[in-house]
Structure 1
Amino acid sequence: MAQLGIIGHKGRMGQALQQAIADAGHAIAGGVDAGDDAAQLADNCDVLIDFSAPAALEGNLHAAVGAGVPLVIGTTGLTQAHHTAIDNAARVVPILQTGNTSLGVTLLAHLVREAATRLGPDWDIEIVEMHHRMKVDAPSGTAILLGEAAAEGRGIELAAHRESGRDGHTGAREKGAIGFAALRGGTVAGDHSVIFAGNEERITLSHLAENRMIFANGAVKAAAWLIGKQPGRYTMAQVLGL
C-alpha cells in the first residue's frame, strides 16, 4: 500500500483521485491546494500526484526534489519553460509527465504513431478534440500528445508542422501539416479523434472519455509504478510496457 499525496485535491480531478486511490487499495497521505505549501505533504508521502495549475508547477517540483519523492504531473497547458524545469528536476527524482493519464489514450497515441509511420506524408492528419465548457486551454494536452505521436511517427517536429485555428481565407492546406480543431461545450469529459485522410479514403482513430475517473485511475497506476524508479523522465507508455 502506497501513501499518495494529491496536489489540487479539492478540484474535480483531485476528488476523482481520492476515489481512485481508495479503490486501488492505497492510502491518501494528504492534499494541498492553491496557496498551500506542498513541501510538508511531500515529506509524508511515497509519491506526489499533481493536477493543479501551470503556475504552481515550479513550487511542486521544488517540493518533490526537496523530499526526494517521485512526482506524477497531469497538469496541462505547460510551456517550454515548464518542460525545462521538469527536465532539471528529473535529474534528481523520477517524474512522469503526460497530457493524459488514461490508459486508453496511451494506447491510442501508440496506434497514431504506428499509423503515421506506415501511411507516410501523403496522408493528411487532423486532430479534433472536444471538452466541457469550463476547460481553459486549447488544444487540449491530449490533442498535443496525439500530435506529438503523429509527428514522431513521421520523424518531424510538431512545432514546425502544426496548424491551429483556421479562419477566413487561409489558402490550401500545407503538405505535411498536422491540424488541430478544438470544440468546447456542455460537460464533455474529453473526446479525441485523429483523422488520417488519404486520396478517396480515411482512417479515424478515436477515444471517448465518459468519466474523469479513467484519468484518476491511470494516474494512480502510474504513481504506484513510479515508486522505486531511478531519477529520470518517464511516460505513460512505459507504464503500459509499450
Structure 2
Amino acid sequence: MNRIGVFGANGRMGLALLEAVTNNKNSQLTGAYVRASSPLLGMAVKQLNSAVAEELTFSDEAEINNIDILIDFTLPAGMRAHLKTAVAHKIPMVIGSTGLNKDDMHALQQAATQIPIVFARNYSVGVNVLLNLVQTAATKLGEDVDIEIFEAHHRHKIDAPSGTALAIGEAIADAKGWQHDNVARFQRHQDEQAKSQNEIGYSVLRGGDIVGEHTAYFATSGERLELTHKASSRMTFALGAIRAAGWLKNKPAGLYDMQDVLDLK
C-alpha cells in the first residue's frame, strides 16, 4: 500500500488527484498539502471532495510525514519549493508541473541524483502512445512534409504552448534528428516567406472549460495525416499519475518519464 501525499491539494488538478488516490486500492491518501498562508489549513478535505476520508485535513506543505510518494502538479514556483522538501525527506516524487524553464529542469535533474522522480508533461496513457505514433509518422513520411502542432485548453491555463504540445514537438524533432529549440516556430505574423519544411509550427487556443486537445499535423502534397488526442476529464491525468506513483516505489534515484512507466521505450 503506497502512502501518498498531494501538493496543491485544493487546485483543480489537486482535487482530482485526491479522488484518484482515494479510489485506488493500492494507495492510501495520507497528505493533502496547501500553502502555509491558505485559509484551508486544518479544514476537513471532505468539505471540498466528498470522496476523501472524513478524518483527513488540509495541512502545511512543509509538514511532511507518513508519506511514501509525493505528487506535485503545481506551478513552477511551487514545484521548486516542493522538490527541496522531497529531497530533504528522501521521498520519491511524481511531477506533472508544466511551464518549467531550463533552471527548473536543471533542479529536477539534480534532485534526481538523490531521489527517484517521474516527470511528465502529460500523464495520460493515450498521450504517451501518441508520442510514439508521431515519431513513426515523422520518420516514415519522408522529408517532403509540413509539420504543425495545435493545442486547445481552458481559459485558465497559463503556459502556452502546453507542455504536452512541446513534448509532441520534441518527440518529432528527436525522430527527425533535429534540435527542437532550433526548429520550433511559435509565431509567423511578421514572416514574409513560405513555411520551411525543416520546422515545427505551434498554434494555441484558450477558451471555456476545454480539458485538453492536441493534434499533430503531417501535410504533404495530396494528403494530410492528423494524429489527435482529446481529454474529457482531468481524472485521466490523475489516474496516470497514480499509476506512475505505483511504478516509482522502490526505484533507484533517477529521472524517469511516463514512457518508462508504460514500457514504451
Q: CA deviation at 1:165?
A: 2.5
Deviations 1:121-167 (A, max 9, x none): 32111000000111111000110011111111111111000001222
Task: Specify which structure has the higher proportion of helix.
Answer: 1
- Pick the aligned partner of 1:98 from 108, 117, 120: 120
- Pick the aligned partner of 2:157 from 132, 135, 144: 135
TM-score by length of 2: 0.88
Structure 2 counterpart of 1:19: 19
Q: What one-letter code is carried by the residue in structure 2 that aligns with 1:30?
A: G
Q: CA deviation at 1:19?
A: 1.0
Moved more, 227-236 or 113-122: 113-122
Structure 2 counterpart of 1:225: 247
Structure 2 residue matching 1:40: 3-state secondary structure? coil
Residue 57 of structure 2 is aligned to residue 48 of structure 1: no
Structure 2 counterpart of 1:31: 32
Q: CA deviation at 1:33?
A: 2.2
Contact 1:48–1:70 (CA under 8 A) maintained in structure 2: yes
Q: How does 1:59-70 map to 2 (within 5 A)?
A: 59-70=81-92
Larger radius of gyration: 2
Deviations 1:60-119 (A, max 9, x none): 111111111111110111001100000000000011111111111011111111211222
Structure 2 unaligned residues grouped into runs of 5+: 38-59
Query: Structure 1 residues 170, 28: closer, same or farther in 2, change over 3 A?
Result: farther
Structure 2 counterpart of 1:10: 10
Structure 1 counterpart of 2:209: 187
Divergent runs of 4+, >3 A: 34-39
Aligned length: 241
Structure 1 counterpart of 2:96: 74
Q: CA deviation at 1:170?
A: 4.1
| Alpha-carbon RMSD | 1.3
Residue 261 of structure 2 is aligned to residue 236 of structure 1: no
Deviations 1:18-73 (A, max 9, x none): 111122121111122234753422x3211110011101122111111111111111
**2-structure distance, mates of 1:106, 1:35:** 35
Structure 2 counterpart of 1:120: 142
**2-structure distance, mates of 1:143, 1:91:** 27
Structure 1 counterpart of 2:129: 107
Greater RCO, CA 8 A, separation 6+: 1
Contact 1:39–1:67 (CA under 8 A) maintained in structure 2: no
Structure 2 counterpart of 1:89: 111
- Pick the aligned partner of 2:181 from 121, 138, 159: 159
**2-structure distance, mates of 1:83, 1:210:** 29
Q: CA deviation at 1:169?
A: 4.3
Structure 1 residue matching 2:63: 3-state secondary structure? helix
Moved more, 29-38 or 129-138: 29-38
Contact 1:109–1:146 (CA under 8 A) maintained in structure 2: yes
Contact 1:115–1:153 (CA under 8 A) maintained in structure 2: no
**1-structure distance, mates of 2:68, 2:136:** 35
**1-structure distance, mates of 2:12, 2:179:** 33
